[in-house]
């Protein structure tokens, strides 16, 4: 008996099929993949893995609300919005996709606690060392591990995140 699929599984399969039709498999480490995906989704919110409510106990335990937070690979997730509703006052969101960054800038133009910048997590040289108190990643590391030169990409990401802060929270599919 075949297990029933939920809407998220169907959406993932549709995106994978669409990417393959464009001439290759999904390369979650590629900005062009994400630009195409966000255009297809039309700016709909999507949280990988867990929503903030599930992660809140961990975040609140280790990250004071006054912290300067860097959210890497923010995508169209609601986590930063939910953190602002929970009292966080400074969240810089970065993503490799210029499409999603522009969508999120427009969506949150009146929320002064949220800033958005297109940036590759493997090169955050725009920021000086220790610019943030905490870096949060919910899925970017997994995405990079699906791309070419995965070990090098992952090492670059971790090195850049470590340069920014002393506290890194990873909420990956395999760890928290």
Proportion of the chain above pLDDT 70, given as a percent: 82
Q: What is the pLDDT of residue 27?
A: 80
Q: What DSSP designation does 116 have?
A: E
Domains identified in the chain, total number? 1
Q: How many CB atoms lie within 10 A of CB 44?
A: 10
Per-residue pLDDT tens digits for 77-131: 999 999 999 999 999 999 999 999 999 999 999 999 999 999 999 999 999 999 9
- Indicate if the pLDDT at residue 29 is higher than 90: no
Q: Where residue 121 sits, what CATH number does that domain have?
A: 3.40.50.150
Per-residue pLDDT tens digits for 44-82: 898 888 899 999 999 999 999 999 999 999 999 999 999
Give the domain range for residue 83. Answer: 1-176
């Amino acid at each position: 008996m075949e297990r029933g699929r939920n809407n998220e599984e169907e959406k993932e399969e549709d995106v994978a099929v669409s990417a393959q039709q464009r001439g290759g498999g999904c390369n979650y480490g590629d900005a062009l993949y994400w630009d195409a995906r966000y255009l297809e989704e039309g700016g709909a919110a999507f949280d990988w893995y867990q929503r903030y409510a599930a992660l809140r106990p961990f975040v609140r335990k280790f990250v004071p609300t006054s912290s300067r937070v860097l959210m890497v690979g923010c995508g169209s997730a609601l986590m930063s919005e939910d953190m602002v509703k929970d009292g966080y006052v400074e969240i810089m969101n970065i993503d490799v996709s210029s499409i999603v960054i522009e969508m999120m800038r427009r969506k949150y133009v009146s929320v002064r606690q949220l800033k958005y910048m297109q940036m590759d997590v493997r090169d955050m040289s725009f920021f000086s060392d220790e610019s943030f108190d905490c870096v949060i990643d919910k899925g970017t590391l997994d995405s990079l591990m699906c791309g070419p030169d995965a070990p090098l990409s992952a090492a670059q990401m971790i090195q850049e995140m470590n340069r920014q802060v002393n506290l890194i929270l990873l909420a990956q599919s395999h760890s928290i």
